Structure formats: C-alpha cells, structure tokens
Amino acid sequence: MENKPIKGGEFIIRDVHYSEVFTPDEWKEEQLMISQMCEDFIHQEVLPFLDRTDNMENGLMESILEKAGELGLLGLSVPEDLGGLGVDFKTSLLATEYLGTGYSFSVSFGAHTGIGTLPILYYGNQNQKEKYIPKLASGEWKAAYCLTEPGAGSDANSGKTKAKLSDDGKHYILNGQKMWITNAGFADLLTVFAKIDDDKNLTAFIVEAKSEGITLNPEEKKMGIKGSSTRQVFFNNVLVPVENMLSVRENGFKIALNILNIGRIKLAAGVLGGAKGAIGLTVKYANEREQFGRAISKYGAIRYKLAEQVINTYALEAATYRAGQNIDDAILALQNSGLEKGDATLKGIEQFAAECAILKVAGSEILDYVVDEAVQIHGGMGYSAESMVERAYRDARINRIFEGTNEINRMLAVDMVLRKALKGELDLMGPAMQVSNELMSIPDFGEMSAGTLEPERRYLSGFKKTLLMIAGAAVQKLMQSLAKEQEILMNIADIAISTYLAESALLRAEKKIHMKGEAHSELDIEIVRTFFYETACKIEKSARDAIYSFAEGDEARIMLMGLKRFTKTEIFNVKDARQKIAQRLIEKNKYCF
C-alpha cells in the first residue's frame, strides 16, 4: 500500500489496498437521507405518470423537473451561494443512481443537471453564473446542450454551425443546425457549440431559447425514452450577445470533452439505479409466477439469471463509487494546492477520464444484460407494453450511444492511458518490461494462499499482467499504426474494463470483511469469486483475439503460454455460489446487496 493518492489509469500498475477505496457500506446518514428523498420523489412524482410522460403530455415533464427543483435535486452539484446544495461528487452520483430508476425522467434530469448546467457552472464567468445558475438550480429555467449535428456525431469538432461577429461588435450571429437535443422542446437555455469564422476548434455560447431565429423540428419518434424531449434545433441569424461567449474562443471542444467525462460517470450511476430497479421487478415476478406447480424462482435456470444480474450490478456499483471517491480526493488535493473549486472539479474529473469511459461502457452494457434477462424471466409478459420491464428494455438501449458510443469510449480509454504514459505521467513501460521478462523465466508454481479471497488477489495480478503483456506488445509491434487497429484497441479496452471491475468488486468485499467480518460478508465473497471466474474467461478470450491479430511464431507461442498462466483459476463450484446469491435475492424479494 502506498501513501500517495492513486492517479487516473494507475490501477493497471499499482496494487490497491481496500483502505484506499470508498464502498457503499460507508454512506453517512446525511447521504442516505438524500438517496431516500430521491427514491420517494421517483415513487411519488414519476412512476405514477409514466404513460402520460411517454405520451409527451404537454407541460408534464417540465412540471416534474420544477418539483425536483423545489426539493433541491436540480442543484445538488451547485454551490450554496448560487442556490444549490453543494454536495461532494460521490453524493451527486448517489442521487443520480436513485433517480436513475425514473425512466425518461432520469434522461431529462441528467441532461438538465449535467450537460445543461455544468458548462456554465464550471466555465462561466461570475456574471454568467450569477445570471443563470440560480434559475437552473431552482427549475425555473430548464437547460439543453447543443453539440451534435447531422454530420458531426462522434467527430464533434467537425460541426458546421457558424458564428460571425456582427459589424457593431455587440453580437455573434449564429447559423446552423443541431440534432438529438435532449430537453430541446421546453429548454429555456441552450449551450451551443459553433465555429467562429474559419476557426479550427469550436467555441461555446450561452443562448436563450426565446431568441429570435431559433426554430425546432417536431419531437423525434424514438425506440425508448419516449417521455424525454428530443428535437432538432435550427439557428437562423440568431443574435447572441458577445458577453454570452462561454470561456474563451476555441475552447468549446475542451469544454465538450470535459463535460462528457462527467456525463460518462454520471451515466454509470444512473444505469446502476436502473439495473437495481429492474432486478427488483424481476425477482418479484419470479416469486409470483408459477409454472409446473411452483414459483419459477425455484428453478435453477431462473436462479442463474437472477444471480448473474446481481453479480454484475454489484461489481458496477463497487467501481462507480470507487471512482467517485478517487475524484473527490483529487478535487480536494487540487483545492488544497490553491485551485478554485470549479477548476479543481474539472481537473479532478479529467484525471480519471479513462475510468469515466470504462464505467460508461461497463454500466450501459451491464444494464442491457440485466433488462434483457428481466424480459426473458417475465416471458410473454415481458414483451407486453403493459409491463415495466418492456419499457426498461427499450429505454436502456440508448445508453450505449449516449455520451459517446461504447466503441468510441473503449478506444478513448486506451488512448488516454497511453497518452499519460507518453507524457511520463504513468510508468507503463517498466511494468510491461517486467512482464515480458517474466514470460521468459521459469514459472512460479508455489502454493496459492488459502486465505479468504487471496486466490482472487492473485488472479487480479494475472489480469493486470495480461493487460500489460498485450498492450506492451501491441505498442512495440505496431507503434504508430496501433491507432488504426481498432479491433486490437477494443480487445485491450475489454481487458482493462474487466480488470477494473474485478479489482473494484474485490476491494469492496475485502473492506466489508474488514468492517463486518467474514460471517456478514459470505455472499460478497461468493459474488467476487464468481465474478473473477467469469472475468478470467473474458480476459483470456480478448487477449487471445489480440495475440492472433498481431503476433506469430515464437512470439505468439510465448504470449499464449503466459496468457494461460495469467488467467488460470482453480476449481470452483460456480453453480452453488450462484444458488446462494439468488436465494438471498429471492428471500428478500428485492435487490438487497
């Protein structure tokens, strides 16, 4: 265990002790009160009106957002002097988790409080913040974020929307088109990205939606999240006061990237809530539905699915709040060094941008798995539009596209870590060379420690060695062309994602054992052991795919032998472990981990 705080991406090369992470067993009373308030709000103000919101009843979503504003839920991340509650980052994640069970509302809420509010909060000058943030925190005004264009999605900086300074120098004249804009139908304030003249990079502007020259297309017809407003926005000679430029000229692309980092980890928290909610619906149905004379929750095939839902959700929760605490620690350290809170927050989150991308991918794909199995367990009822899980299934799909597609985020995660290595911020080469030397040495076949979760800690070391072996060899072999080898980058990213979640789950269980003892952590142990068993299989497949893609001859054979060593696990009865996990879920009749 090292004394200095962990850096973003450093999990690959550093052994982390459970004392360094935050786990869900450590929430304080005040934080739990916030989560309870969010849960009550969803049950009282959102769930009873789902059909009405999905039918886009005029004014309904706006009124729900206003009620959230009255409770302070729209200003959780806003400082108190601007009308908010000023909670720390991980507490804002907790609120996002509990509000993540709100289907379309959670999308409107996330767009307003995240990409709608935060650009002004973190990049606005004092006048801009004082003018707009209190209205956004209270819900008096609603916000939207206008970045995507018909020809500029993942490649956001290629947008064609233009801004030109007026002859009198008092306004920028805005012309262009934006699409897929969440909250566009009722937003009062827009953060719009455009290029001034022939600039290379985007500039951001704060635009009031009532400005002359702004028009909207009709609401989009979508697969899911039907209750959230999604429209195209057109700007035809819109006059934007020069004082409404956000930050400085050509800083828009950086603003977009940094706000998306926040959006990615917030998405992970939101889908975590959605996954728990879907599991709750599913176990209740499994306990009620009878076939062949008994509840379907008594059948092994169903218990397998319930257990897998829990295992993956447990790991996601561990990873999300681990990263949230890391970000809080980084923000505090930067503040102590003299940075203002807003700047410290941005830099703190930026340090863990790779983890944010990892969590976005993992969270959206875990939710997809959970809701898919929820529909399957519900059978024909799950396919009926009258069931809640049918809505959950459709609503979940967008999360693999939101905040940058999962393919883009996989490649971003690898790219950001490699860039840190090139800058000397992370020493990946040293550990990678150690693994390379180990491949040529005689394996250590010493006995594995029999302590609780000690085998899993050893497996974790093998996962990290696999990641270093594959990434190191790919960089050395392919060099500059690696950036074009997207399949290999995706393999590396999948190994990193699996490793991060496995370590997070392990640390969570180890900390619970330390806090409450093994007797109270029995199911945590079973969850971690099963997750590691599955993770070893996933990592072996991703690594083998990568090796076959760029290595051959003796090099490939040596790496494959190392891979077999690094991903080897001992015999473990996964069926019994899943049975125990599912049995607890069935007994409690709700998500209880």
Task: Please report, for the domain that includes residue 17, its CATH number.
Answer: 1.20.140.10
Of 72, 135, 69, 70, nearest to 108 by C-alpha is: 69
Looking at the structure of the chain, the number of domains it has is 2
From the list 50, 82, 80, the residue with the least C-alpha distance to 64 is 50
* Co-location of 413 and 437 in the same domain: no
Contact indicator for 563, 544 with CB cutoff of 8 Å: yes
Query: Active site residue: 10, 149, 365, 403, which one?
Result: 403
Is the same domain home to 347 and 495? Answer: no
Question: Active-site residue 403, yes or no?
Answer: yes
pLDDT for 448? 52
pLDDT of residue 490: 97
Please state, in angstroms and rounded to a whole number, the distance separating the CA atoms of residues 376 and 365: 17
pLDDT attached to residue 76 = 96
- Structural domain contains residue 343: yes
What parts of the chain have a pLDDT lower than 70? 1-3, 443-450
Q: In the prediction, which pLDDT does 446 show?
A: 55
Structure tokens that stand for 405 in this block: 């597609």
What are the Cα distances from residue 262, in Å, to 268, 384, 499?
10, 35, 22
The answer to whether residue 593 is domain-embedded is: no
CB atoms within 10 A of CB 170: 11
Co-location of 352 and 487 in the same domain: no
Domain containing residue 575: 428-588
Is there a single domain that holds both residue 397 and residue 469? no
412 and 548 in a single domain? The answer is no
For residues 436 and 412, state if they share a domain: no
Contacts of 424 (CB under 8 A, 6+ apart): none
- Same-domain status, 103 and 163: yes
Last residue of a domain, one of 389, 421, 453: 421
- Single out the residue in 391, 421, 451 at which a domain terminates: 421
Segments in 192-299 forming alpha helices (H)? 252-288
Cβ–Cβ < 8 Å for 364, 351: no
The β-bridge partners of 246 are 204
* Shared domain check, 437 and 414: no
Question: pTM for the complete prediction?
Answer: 0.95
For residue 112, CA distances in Å to 47, 109, 219, 229, 487 come to: 19, 5, 18, 12, 35
3-class state of residue 196 by DSSP: strand
- 458 with 407, same domain: the answer is no
Helix axes 300-336, 486-516, angle to 10 degrees: 90
362, 397, 421 — which closes off a domain?
A: 421
- The single-letter code of the amino acid at 272 is L
* Cα separation, 43 vs 277, whole angstroms: 12
Decide: 323 and 355 in contact? Cβ < 8 Å. Answer: yes
pLDDT at 339: 93
Do 476 and 388 share a structural domain? no
CA–CA gap between residue 529 and residue 534 (Å, rounded): 9
